[in-house]
Structure formats: C-alpha cells, structure tokens
Amino acid sequence: MTNDSAAKSFYTVLLLALVCSALVSGAAVGLRPRQDANEQLDQKKNILRAAGLYNGQGDINLLFSAIETKIIRLSDGTFVSKEEVDPNNFNQLKAAFNPQTGKQLPKQEDPARLNRLEKYSLIYLVHQNNTINTVILPIRGKGLWSTMYGYVALAGDLSTITGVTFYKHGETPGLGGEIENQDWQAGWQGKKIHDNQGKIVLRVVKGKVKATDQDRAHRLDGISGATLTMNGINNLLMFWFGEHGFKPFLERYKTKEGIGG
Ligand SMILES: Cc1cc2nc3c(=O)[nH]c(=O)nc-3n(C[C@H](O)[C@H](O)[C@H](O)COP(=O)(O)O)c2cc1C
C-alpha cells in the first residue's frame, strides 16, 4: 500500500484505536485493586473521624484496628455471623450491601428517597474498659442534587450523638456542600436523637439554634442557602433512626445487657 492510499490510512487509524483502547482498559482493570484499597481507606478515615479518633494524623489502618466491624440484619437488628457475611471480605461486603439486591421501600416510608434498601448494614464498635463506648452507623439519603453519605457516632446510651461526618455527595460547594464543613459537623456533638418517649425529634432548624431554645438538645444549626439539602438531612435522620433503619437494632441493645454479639 502506498503512503497516500485510503486503505493504509484506515488501517493505521484502526490499529492506533485498538492499541489505545487496550491500554485504557488494561489500566482500568490493573488499577481496580488500588482504587478499592483507596476507597476502603477513605471509609476507614471517615469512620474514625465520626468516632473522634482521627484528626488528620496517624496511620489509618493502625487506628482502625481499635474498631470492631460487625454486620447486622436491618429488619430485626440482630448480628450476622461471619459465615453468613464476612466483614473482612471487601468484595463480598460490596455485594451484600448492594441496595439493588434488597427490598423496595414504599414511597411513604422512604423519606430519604433510597428507593431500595439492602438487607444488612455494617456497624462499627469502639470498646473501652470492656464496655461499648461508641457505635458508628452508616447513613445516607437524597439531598437536593445527590445522595449524601455519612457516618453518625452514638454514645453508649444509643441516643446521644458524639460525632458525624458527611464525606460523599454532589451538593453545591458553598451551599449544600457545606455539610462537609467540620465546624458544622462539630455542632452535632452532644445532640440527642430521641425524646423521653423514644420519639425521633432531632432535626435541623433554619438559621442557628438559639441558646434559649428549650429543645436545643434536639436541634441542629441550619446551613444558610441550603434549606433543601437540610430537608434531606432531616429526612435521612427520620429514616435511619426509624423502623426500616437502625431502630430495631437500637431498641434491642438499649437494654441493660448492652451490645454484644
Ligand atoms: C446553582 C444553584 C445551586 C444550588 N445548590 C443548592 C444546594 O446544594 N443545596 C440547597 O439546599 N440549595 C441549593 N440551591 C438553592 C435552592 O434553590 C434554594 O434557594 C435554597 O435551598 C433555599 O435555602 P435558604 O432558605 O436557606 O435560602 C442552589 C441554587 C442554585 C441557583
């Protein structure tokens, strides 16, 4: 074939395209384990941050070794054995916690707009002097633009919040995206989810919580210009502390026996 033949140009372009696509897909497959490892490390960092055990310094894996990972069945709050789902098998976990394999939520019982709910949840326990000091729960729900993912840490009474992180979302930077702001997250510390009757009463207000507000233990500061994102936060609190969420688990272990498994 001569250099200016159409066939030669065609085969050259075809060969180039094939080589490039092989390189790109090879890189995607080859880097997958590293992406999984980074994702896992990021999860650990956020769990530690919610638990108040990470301030940007230290070896994340080492710090995380102080945390016990458990799996619960959301429907009744019972612990699941390692034989059923192994918490150390990342790929098995990803499959077990895929909401697409779970139940369809009725619209009126789905304020966080999850649509489908997985059967199991991971939870994380921090022990101190033979008792459970902190329980960290994964939470998520729709904001204005996106699903917001976070962790909430509860004290041993299973009602007082000791920390929160929101680490993945697609809300607007500077508006709803301020849920990432650590100053705002710090305002969750010490807030109580339930009233004396066990009703879920914690919610975000518009503006700042007033020092004179009788309910201030159950109120969180709003983020200005982000009322719709804040509605999403209120909705996810209602969902995850409700019947389909962690309520069965929290009720079960609010007893004197505490959390074991
Ligand atoms: C480009 C653009 C992005 C916005 N992003 C958000 C957002 O991430 N979260 C949110 O609640 N409101 C967002 N809003 C504003 C909402 O439309 C609405 O005005 C706001 O939630 C009202 O909050 P406020 O009552 O505190 O002012 C956005 C508006 C525009 C124009």
The structural domain count of the chain equals 1
Gap from CA of 112 to ligand 1 centroid (Å): 18
Smallest Cα–Cα separation from 103: which of 118, 82, 113?
118
Does a structural domain hold residue 3?
no
Name the residue range of residue 247's domain: 47-253
**Mean pLDDT of the 16-44 span:** 90
Is 147 touching ligand 1 by the criterion CB < 6 Å?
Answer: no
Instruction: State residue 47's pLDDT score.
Output: 97
Question: Does the CB atom of residue 9 touch ligand 1 within 6 A?
Answer: no
- Length of the chain in terms of residues written: 261
The pTM of the full predicted model, rounded to 2 decimals, is 0.87
pLDDT of res. 53: 94
Residue 213 lies in a domain: yes
Give me the pLDDT at residue 95, please.
78
Query: Is 86 a member of any domain?
Result: yes
Residue 227 is assigned to a structural domain of this protein: yes
- 140-161 per-position pLDDT tens digit: 999 999 999 999 999 999 999 9
pLDDT at 137 over 80: yes
pLDDT tens, position by position, 201-260: 999 999 999 999 999 999 999 999 999 999 999 999 999 999 999 999 999 988 655 564
Would 109 be classed as within a structural domain? yes
Q: Is residue 172 part of a domain?
A: yes
Residue 195 has pLDDT above 50, yes or no: yes
Question: Residue 131: inside a domain, yes or no?
Answer: yes
Using a 6 Å cutoff on CB, does residue 175 contact ligand 1? yes
Q: Which residue out of 147, 175, 184 has the highest number of ligand 1 atoms within 8 Å of its CB and is therefore the one to mutate?
A: 175
Average pLDDT for 56-73: 93
User: Ligand 1 pocket: which of 181, 228, 230, 234 to mutate (most atoms <8 Å of CB)?
Assistant: 228
